């Protein structure tokens, strides 16, 4: 499922990028590699140069996209969760960077071509239509709030189910707060998009004409298209929470969970596709109305990152892709850049730690009448006088464990788990160990083992000298 989810998320995103930022019919677009299209680019030898640049960039991007798709399909056959996480994390970072490299190169070459034609200034020029400044909006607050409030109600319902206030469902997951975590996560995503909807609706209006009415209608159409996509995202988010919770509560199967995710991704990508089609229609409708053109290309680093110390706004509309971006010259923009870099470092560090975790042996030993579970450090220390009963099991597959919090990979289970028959417990198990020891104390139940059956049996024999043994073999 992990590989499938990564494939579904990454591959369509790459192909959407091809359509969005590497268009074939560049003469009909507002931007060419993040540089505003101009009449000077569409005639004579200059048009031939631009055509060559566009074809080269698109060809390189297509090659990267095809190679990434093939590799992504091959990664579906990877074995081992740690291996999958490590390879997919690194691959996603590399693929996302590589797919925009031709764009960045094209942006540099288009700016060089622009300078060779004597167009523009290094400082950049921004236009403002004072007649419409701050008054063109298209977002209907009610339409965007309703689906997000419904998602929040579903999340609250999941919490009440986990708290057993609502007697709905009887699966092993009730009380684990798995449903609650999932529902609140997606509800939070919805509210983040709600905030983004308000931000996008209040972006600076673009000036394309000397006629204020044209500017107002053009910006209203663009903002309405964006608002509709945000509303659609809210409803898709709500539908996913509903499907996911229904799959758990009424007909739990892995297939239903996968289908829920597939439906979510299909609807989401369908909404983005609709947004792109409508955006193209809007640009085509107002193409002949463009009589003014801002010369702010030099304020966009590589055509993607806006950096203008003179602009006090934090948010601006993207030049590539959907939505908005931040002004990286703004103090908050600098903080966003730093947090973004930090998140990449933390992600890489987490993957490295997970790899170390899976490759560090799990030890089970008895010292001073105390069972010690050790990996990196002593995870659990269970004194013999605290143990109420002790049991030895020879087949780890007899346990039906579901992770609540902690580590859960094909090679280890460590942390808070739920055993379907016994309830909440602590796990310190390597799946290579086969056998296990069940330890019952007044406060909790432990399932522990060592790397081999022999080591597990030796620890069991040693600690059984001091405590009562039940269900022993």
What residues does each domain of the chain span?
Answer: 127-293, 363-463
Burial group, residue 412, by CB count within 10 angstroms (0-12, 13-18, 19+):
buried
pLDDT band at 473 (very low <50, low <70, confident <90, very high): very low
Tell me what the mean pLDDT of segment 286-293 comes to: 72
Q: What is the pLDDT of residues 382-435, one digit of tens each?
A: 998 888 888 999 888 888 887 777 887 778 888 888 887 777 889 999 888 788
d(CA 80, CA 72): 16
Helices 141-162 + 212-249 axis angle, to 10: 20
d(CA 210, CA 239): 44
Does pLDDT of 231 surpass 90? yes
d(CA 441, CA 463): 14
Tell me what the mean pLDDT of segment 183-212 comes to: 84
Beta strands 370-375 and 363-367: pairing type? antiparallel
pTM across the whole model? 0.65
Tell me what the mean pLDDT of segment 237-259 comes to: 78
pLDDT band at 472 (very low <50, low <70, confident <90, very high): very low
Q: What is the pLDDT of residues 57-100, one digit of tens each?
A: 999 999 999 999 999 999 888 876 677 878 888 888 899 899 99
**Of the candidates 317, 236, 243, the residue with the CA atom closest to the CA atom of residue 271:** 236
Give helix then strand counts, H and E, for the chain.
9, 15
pLDDT band at 173 (very low <50, low <70, confident <90, very high): low
- Which segment of 30-34, 131-135, 194-198, 256-260 scores lowest on mean pLDDT? 131-135
What integer pLDDT is reported at residue 407 of this predicted model? 81
Q: Whole-number mean pLDDT of the chain? A: 83
Q: Which residue did the predictor score with more confidence, 27 or 315?
A: 27
Tell me what the mean pLDDT of segment 280-296 comes to: 76
Helix (H, G, I), strand (E, B) or coil at 412: strand
Tell me what the mean pLDDT of segment 171-195 comes to: 81
Torsion from C-alpha of 143, 179, 250, 167, nearest 10 degrees: -100
d(CA 67, CA 61): 10
Residues 6+ apart with CB under 8 A from 183: 151, 154, 155, 157, 158, 159, 241, 244, 245
> Any idea what the Cα angle at residue 181 is, between residues 257 and 10, rounded to 5°?
55
Tell me what the mean pLDDT of segment 44-56 comes to: 91
Q: What percent of the chain has pLDDT over 90?
A: 19
Q: What is the pLDDT of residues 294-346, one digit of tens each?
A: 677 888 888 888 888 887 777 777 887 666 788 888 888 888 888 888 888 88
Residue 99: half-sphere exposure toward Cβ, Cα within 13 Å: 27
Give the chain's largest Cα–Cα span: 93
d(CA 91, CA 347): 13
What integer pLDDT is reported at residue 428 of this predicted model? 92
Does pLDDT of 175 surpass 70? no
- Which segment of 6-15, 140-149, 248-257, 264-273 scores lowest on mean pLDDT? 248-257
pLDDT band at 170 (very low <50, low <70, confident <90, very high): low
Does pLDDT of 154 surpass 80? yes
What does each C-alpha distance from 27 to 54, 119, 304, 317, 322 come to in angstroms?
10, 18, 20, 21, 20
């Amino acid at each position: 499922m992990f590989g499938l989810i990564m494939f579904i998320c990454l591959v369509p995103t790459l192909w959407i990028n091809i359509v969005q930022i590497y268009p074939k019919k560049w003469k009909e677009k507002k931007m060419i590699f993040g540089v505003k299209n101009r009449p000077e680019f569409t005639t004579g030898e200059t048009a031939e140069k631009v055509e060559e640049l566009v074809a080269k960039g698109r060809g390189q991007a297509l090659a990267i996209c095809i190679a990434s798709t093939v590799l992504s399909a091959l990664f579906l056959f990877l074995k081992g969760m740690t291996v999958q996480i490590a390879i997919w994390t690194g691959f996603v970072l590399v693929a996302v960077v590589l797919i925009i490299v031709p764009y960045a190169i094209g942006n540099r070459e288009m700016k060089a071509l622009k300078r060779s034609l004597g167009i523009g200034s290094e400082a950049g020029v921004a236009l403002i239509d004072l007649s419409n400044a701050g008054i063109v909006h298209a977002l209907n607050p009610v339409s965007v709030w309703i689906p997000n409030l419904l998602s929040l109600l579903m999340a609250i319902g999941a919490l009440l189910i986990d708290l057993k206030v609502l007697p709905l469902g009887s699966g092993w997951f009730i009380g684990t707060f798995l449903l609650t975590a999932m529902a609140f996560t997606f509800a939070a995503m919805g509210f983040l998009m709600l905030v983004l909807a308000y931000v996008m609706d209040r972006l600076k209006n673009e000036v394309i004409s000397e006629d204020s009415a044209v500017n107002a209608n053009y910006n209203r159409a663009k903002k309405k298209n964006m608002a509709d996509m945000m509303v659609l995202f809210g409803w898709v988010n709500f539908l996913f929470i509903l499907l996911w919770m229904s799959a758990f509560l009424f007909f739990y199967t892995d297939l239903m969970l996968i289908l829920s995710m597939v439906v979510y991704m299909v609807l989401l990508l369908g909404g983005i596709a609709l947004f792109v089609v409508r955006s193209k229609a809007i640009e085509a409708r107002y193409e002949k109305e463009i009589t003014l053109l801002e010369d702010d290309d030099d304020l966009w680093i590589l055509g993607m990152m806006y950096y203008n110390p003179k602009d006090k706004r934090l948010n601006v509309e993207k030049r590539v892709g959907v939505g908005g971006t931040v002004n990286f010259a703004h103090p908050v923009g600098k903080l966003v850049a730093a947090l973004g870099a930090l998140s990449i470092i933390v992600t890489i560090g987490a993957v490295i730690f997970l790899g170390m975790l899976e490759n560090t042996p799990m030890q089970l030993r008895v010292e001073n009448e105390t069972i010690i579970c050790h990996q990196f450090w002593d995870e659990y220390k269970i004194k013999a006088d605290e143990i109420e009963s002790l049991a030895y099991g020879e087949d780890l597959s007899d346990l039906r464990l579901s992770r609540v919090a902690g580590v859960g990979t094909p090679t280890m289970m460590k942390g808070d788990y739920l055993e379907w028959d016994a309830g909440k417990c602590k796990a310190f198990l390597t799946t290579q160990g086969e056998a296990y020891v069940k330890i019952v104390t007044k406060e909790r139940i432990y399932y522990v083992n060592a790397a081999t059956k022999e080591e597990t049996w030796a620890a069991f024999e040693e600690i059984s000298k001091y405590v009562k043994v039940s269900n022993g073999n």
